Amino acid sequence: MSQGTHNKIIAIMISLCLTVVVLDFSNVFAEVQNTIRKNRDQQEKASSHQQKLTIDEFNTDYIIPAEFPDLPSKIVQWLTARQFVIPQGIPEYMVDDVLPINAIKGRFRNPNQQDWAVYCTNIDSACIILFWEGDTIQPEVLSRDPDSASTYKPDGESISCCFFYISPAGVKLMLRQYELLKSDGALEPPPINHDGISFGILDQAIIYILYKYKGKWLSLAGTD
């Protein structure tokens, strides 16, 4: 075999190897593109499905958990996995700087820990979910309406979607509400040293205050 023929054979072999390498990279790139396209299509499909949801007969607006500013990612994931959305029925008196509503943080069990409470619905039911210290391991679910009784009744009427909203109730607010309403027979509250949850009814001047005391939820004096 002449040197020239030998060199041509080597050149052809190198060319074939390079072609195989290029084809391999092309296949990998194509697979990556297909994966990205499938993920995007799934996200768009999920988003389209959520946009079509009707959470109550009044077509109340809502947001998905991921759209709520500052809501911890593990709470977002917990709610999303269970198909919860957060209603946005806005009371007329609320101003833009407190929007969106119905996911609140505060010290709802004792003054030494920061918790989250979310009023949400998964179409089948509505409830307030307490994430103690922002943890999703053992959240507490409140699925019944509070009333004017001194003790929250877990066997009362189910919370309806979406006539309600929640907001934090600080110590000063709870004490002031009692002072305003004690002449009308409001029961004296227990010692108050942490936050409560204001549970308001849309389009009505009625607010109940839920307060955790010695492991139980109390319904304190609100506005009526």
- pLDDT tens for 22-54 read 445 455 455 656 655 655 555 554 444 445 567
Q: Give the lowest-confidence range in 55-59, 171-175, 184-188, 212-216.
A: 55-59
Q: 139 vs 125, which has greater pLDDT?
A: 139
Give the per-residue pLDDT at 21: 46
In this prediction, residue 45 carries a pLDDT of: 47
Every domain of the chain and the residues it spans: 1-52, 62-223
Q: Are strands 62-63 and 196-201 parallel, antiparallel or unpaired?
A: unpaired
| Distance between CA atoms of residues 166 and 156, nearest Å | 18
Do residues 195 and 168 touch, judged by C-beta distance below 8 A? yes
C-alpha dihedral sign at 51, 57, 60, 66: negative
Q: In the predicted model, what is the mean pLDDT of residues 166-175?
A: 91
Global pTM reads 0.69
pLDDT band for 202, please (50, 70, 90 cuts). confident
